[in-house]
């Protein structure tokens, strides 16, 4: 029981880290805005994330969580630990 919860927590942290790294790779607010729109984010969400473009860790848990979903990360080849 304890072990399963730890693996789930580690999996969640790794996915959040991957989201933060993806934002960091996009670097600028204009690129973040454009790429989030391509992935289906609402313009308001993309704008709010792009406005805080250097806060990768903060943004990785906010609205980006709904755009860079588990399915998206799986499509990139990220394995699941759970």
Residue spans of the domains in the chain: they are 2-75
CA distances to 4, 7, 55 from 28, in Å:
38, 33, 11
Q: Nearest Cα to 68, choosing from 26, 27, 22?
A: 22
Q: Helices 2-26 & 29-38, crossing angle to 10 degrees?
A: 120
Give the pLDDT confidence of 28-69 residue by residue, as tens digits. Answer: 999 999 999 999 999 999 999 999 988 999 888 888 888 999
Give the pLDDT confidence of 6-36 residue by residue, as tens digits. Answer: 999 999 999 999 999 999 999 999 999 999 9
Quote the Cα angle for 14-28-22, to 5°.
20
């Amino acid at each position: 029981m304890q072990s399963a919860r730890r693996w789930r927590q580690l999996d969640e942290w790794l996915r959040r880290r991957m989201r933060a790294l993806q934002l960091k790779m996009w670097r600028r607010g204009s690129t973040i805005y454009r790429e989030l729109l391509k992935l289906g984010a609402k313009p308001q969400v993309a704008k709010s994330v792009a406005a805080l473009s250097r806060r990768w860790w903060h943004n990785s848990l906010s609205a980006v969580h709904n755009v860079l979903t588990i399915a998206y990360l799986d499509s990139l080849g990220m394995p699941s630990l759970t």
